């Protein structure tokens, strides 16, 4: 057998388990998984020795804000996708907001593609926007290849719009007509707005006031509303960045009833808690906010059982001045940068600190995201015929996240200072090494747009 690259002697990780195998790659795809004894019969142009290491499917980060085009003082595609490659993320699914303009029709889809295509190091897909005034554009966005539509139920930045349930219901009816997926920032606007006003009237602007303005009940109510509207319309819905086990429990019950509801959480909810906000400040501010340590631990149960089938970064960068607390904790920017640390942190926390199988990493970072977001077949798993999006990870290599190690435009993150073990070292996208030895190995522009397919696929239980 002839191939372009042979990744040999590694422990190949899939959602089903871990097996020692050699991965043969040709023309960007996996062409064979071979028992190590078959080596002699393979001729490869390039051999990567993964002895003692794991070979994982590249992560698909289904929740990232690269801010390009539009808000490129916060992040841009060049920095964001380079950080992705450094961290073992081979496909970034970019959000439609924090873009100028927000991605709300097929024409803007095409323009965004043009604006970023020369800047991407890894592959990428787009979320579409659902802003209330583009209901008649949903079908064309779907046909253009968006993976899902993003809805905000809670307060949002001025470039986007919060929807009421009437508009959401109509949007879900439209999405259901073509099998589209609608993803939600699920926090109840009225509760949060009221609490923010109450705090402002009383002149309360402390960190604790921010946390109190976004109670768990606001997240639960919004999630329950989405679930009921999914039941009523038959639409597939996805709850983004679940922060609390009581929210995850609602999703679990809905799934047990057979509804097409999926859930996602983010590494910061699995590692940090509200004490970090209270003690260390605005760098830990995000929405929904970090919850208490008991909730953080209980959230893991739902990651393990698959209720939360995707673990994403919600990479949400900003300029350092936007984290300034001088006007109070309610005014500072909410968002945590985490695309580069997604795999390393999740691997360390799951495998080393909780003794879970590395297959959970493949399941929640790659296979689950590919399945829910219509990328399966091409992306998200190591199998014959799929894109050779691979990560060689040294499970014993220790790391400490520093500002200098970050490839973001703005080198700030809640994860700075965190230590762990298990480091993505080499990243391949479609059979080409894009990152190794701490440096990019392919030119910007190598990354390609990936479009959703298999829209008819139902969420599996
Ligand atoms: Zn987000």
- Tell me the pLDDT tens digit for each residue of 260-290: 999 999 999 999 999 999 999 999 999 999 9
More confident residue, 157 or 193: 193
Residues of the domain holding 18 = 2-55+388-395+422-440
Residue 224 above 90 pLDDT?
Answer: yes
12 lies in some domain: yes
Q: Are residues 331 and 284 in the same domain?
A: yes
64 lies in some domain: yes
Q: How far is the CA of 221 from the centre of ligand 1 (A)?
A: 19
Secondary structure of 247-284 in the HEC alphabet? Answer: HHHHHHHHHHCCCCEEEEEEHHHHHCCHHHHHHHCHHH
Q: How far is the CA of 240 from the centre of ligand 1 (A)?
A: 8
Structure tokens at 203: 């002149």
| CA pair distance 315, 290, nearest whole angstrom | 15
Q: How far is the CA of 460 from the centre of ligand 1 (A)?
A: 25
Which residues are bridge partners to 58 per DSSP?
none
- Averaged pLDDT of the chain: 96
Q: How far is the CA of 65 from the centre of ligand 1 (A)?
A: 6
Q: How far is the CA of 97 from the centre of ligand 1 (A)?
A: 9
Contact 318, 157 (CB under 8 A): no
Contact 126, 97 (CB under 8 A): no
Query: What CATH code is carried by the domain that includes residue 43?
Result: 2.30.40.10
Q: Give Dmax over CA atoms of the chain in angstroms.
A: 75
Q: Does the reported pTM lie above 0.75?
A: yes
Q: Are residues 39 and 138 in the same domain?
A: no
Residue 7: φ, ψ to 5°? -95, 105
Q: How far is the CA of 90 from the centre of ligand 1 (A)?
A: 19
Separation in Å, CA 151 to CA 36, 121, 162, 226, 324: 48, 28, 7, 10, 28
Residue 420 above 70 pLDDT?
Answer: yes
Q: How far is the CA of 294 from the centre of ligand 1 (A)?
A: 24
Structure tokens at 451: 């479009």
pLDDT given at position 454: 58
Residue 336: φ, ψ to 5°? -125, 135
Question: Residue 63: which residues within 8 A CB-CB, separation 6 or more?
Answer: 93, 95, 240, 241, 264, 266, 310, 312, 313, 314, 315
Query: What CATH code is carried by the domain that includes residue 334?
Result: 3.20.20.140
Residue 228 above 90 pLDDT?
Answer: yes
Q: How far is the CA of 413 from the centre of ligand 1 (A)?
A: 15
Strand 308-312 to strand 432-436: parallel, antiparallel, or no bridges (unpaired)?
unpaired
| CA pair distance 306, 364, nearest whole angstrom | 8
Q: Which of 375, 365, 419 is nearest to 88 (CA)?
A: 365
Q: How far is the CA of 432 from the centre of ligand 1 (A)?
A: 29
Q: Are residues 28 and 69 in the same domain?
A: no
pLDDT given at position 460: 43
| CA pair distance 139, 123, nearest whole angstrom | 24
Q: Are residues 47 and 65 in the same domain?
A: no
Q: How far is the CA of 131 from the centre of ligand 1 (A)?
A: 15
pLDDT given at position 37: 75
pLDDT given at position 459: 42
Helices (H) and strands (E) in the chain, counts: 14, 18
Q: How far is the CA of 457 from the centre of ligand 1 (A)?
A: 25
Q: How far is the CA of 121 from the centre of ligand 1 (A)?
A: 21
Q: How far is the CA of 127 from the centre of ligand 1 (A)?
A: 11
Coarse DSSP helix, strand, coil percentages of the chain, rounded to the nearest 5 percent: 35, 25, 40
Q: How far is the CA of 27 from the centre of ligand 1 (A)?
A: 34
Per this entry, what is the length of the chain?
461
Q: Are residues 176 and 202 in the same domain?
A: yes
State the total domains in the chain. 2
């Amino acid at each position: 057998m002839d191939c372009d690259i042979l990744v040999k002697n590694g422990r190949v990780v899939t959602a089903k388990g871990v097996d020692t195998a050699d991965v043969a790659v040709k023309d960007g795809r996996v062409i064979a998984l071979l028992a190590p004894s078959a080596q002699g019969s393979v001729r490869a142009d390039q051999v990567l020795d993964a002895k003692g290491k794991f070979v994982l499917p590249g992560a698909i980060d289904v929740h990232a804000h690269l801010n390009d085009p539009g808000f490129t003082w916060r992040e841009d595609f060049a920095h964001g996708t380079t950080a992705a490659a450094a961290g073992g993320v081979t496909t970034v699914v970019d959000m439609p907001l924090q873009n100028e303009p927000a991605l709300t029709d097929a024409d803007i889809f095409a323009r965004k593609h043009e604006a970023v295509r020369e800047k991407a190091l890894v592959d990428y897909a787009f979320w579409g926007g659902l802003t209330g005034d583009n209901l008649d554009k949903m079908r064309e966005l779907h046909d253009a290849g968006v993976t899902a539509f993003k809805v905000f139920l809670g307060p949002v930045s001025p470039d986007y719009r919060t929807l009421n349930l009437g508009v959401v219901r109509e949007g879900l009816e439209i999405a259901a007509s073509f099998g589209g997926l609608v993803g939600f920032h699920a926090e109840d606007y009225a509760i949060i707005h009221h609490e923010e006003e109450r705090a402002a009237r009383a002149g309360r602007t402390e960190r604790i006031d921010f946390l109190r303005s976004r109670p768990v009940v606001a997240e639960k109510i919004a999630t329950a509303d989405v679930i009921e509207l999914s039941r009523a319309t038959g639409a597939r819905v996805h709850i983004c960045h679940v922060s609390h086990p009581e929210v995850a429990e609602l999703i679990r019950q809905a799934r047990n009833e057979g509804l097409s509801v999926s859930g996602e959480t983010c590494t910061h909810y699995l590692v940090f808690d509200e004490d970090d906000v209270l003690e260390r400040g605005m760098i830990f501010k995000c929405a929904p906010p970090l919850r208490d340590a008991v909730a953080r631990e209980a959230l893991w149960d739902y990651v393990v059982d698959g209720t939360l089938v995707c673990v994403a970064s919600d990479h949400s960068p900003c300029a350092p001045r936007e984290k300034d607390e001088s006007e109070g904790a309610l005014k500072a920017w909410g968002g945590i940068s985490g695309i580069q640390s997604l795999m390393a942190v999740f691997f360390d926390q799951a495998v080393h600190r909780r003794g879970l199988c590395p297959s959970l990493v493949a399941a929640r970072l790659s296979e689950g995201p590919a399945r829910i977001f219509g990328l399966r077949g091409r992306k998200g798993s190591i199998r014959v015929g799929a894109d050779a999006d691979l990560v060689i990870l040294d499970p014993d290599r220790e790391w400490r996240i520093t500002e200098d190690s970050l490839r973001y435009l703005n080198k700030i993150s809640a994860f700075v200072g965190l230590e762990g073990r298990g480091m993505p070292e080499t990243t391949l996208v479609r059979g080409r090494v894009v990152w190794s030895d701490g440096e990019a190995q392919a030119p910007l522009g190598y990354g390609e747009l990936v479009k959703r397919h298999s829209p008819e696929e139902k969420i599996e239980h």
